[in-house]
Amino acid sequence: MAQHPLEKFRFCPLCGSARFVVNNVKSKRCEDCGFVYYFNPSASTVAVIVNDRDELLVVRRAKEPACGTLDLPGGFCDCYETSEEGVAREVKEETGLEVEGTLFLFTIPNIYPFGGLDIHTIDQFFLCHAKETGGAVAADDAAEILWLPWAEVRPELFGLKSISRGVARLLQLHASGRIAALGKQH
């Protein structure tokens, strides 16, 4: 049986009791104060940005996990921020581009290793309209900016499993003309 995701959390975050035990597959419960903590996935965003030449904006990861592999801009949502605000903030931090509009595409679950923990996420893919795409500059978690023609986009070059799966799905949407059609909607 796999280790419970909350196994590293030994003490109740409310009262500090060591009697913080597995309640079910999604939670732990404190036997002293009764507090139940549910382990739910974190919201994460992924930006799909296509320029006027029908090229996909791709970044090279500057940090672990999967340092040096390809990625799409994005990251964790902050508290009190919508997913649309989160994806726009992440694009600005990683590329300097201003997102003017977003359109939700799909989600893919992921496990993102960070700080010795496996963070379960729901990666939300958004088609983003960015103004002045020629001014993209790598920053923050991005070591390099690349504009790839769709014919050169290969899912196996993306180091995070959910992004690789998402890119494969994006390639299908692009081949069917859906990316172009959706791009015209916003």
145-158 pLDDT per residue, tens: 999 999 999 999 99
User: CATH says 42-185 is which class?
Assistant: alpha beta
**Would you state the structure tokens that stand for residue 49, as one six-digit string?**
């940005």
Cα 76 from Cα 59, distance rounded (Å): 16
7-16 pLDDT per residue, tens: 888 999 999 9
Where do the CATH 3.90.79.10 domains begin and end in the chain? 42-185
Nearest to 147 by CA among 70, 74, 61, 55: 55
Q: What is the pTM of this model?
A: 0.90
Burial 140-171 (b: 16+ CB within 10 A, else e): bbbeebbbeeeeebeeeebbbebbbbbbeebb
Q: Which sequence positions are flagged as catalytic?
A: 144
Place of tokens 């390809």: 70
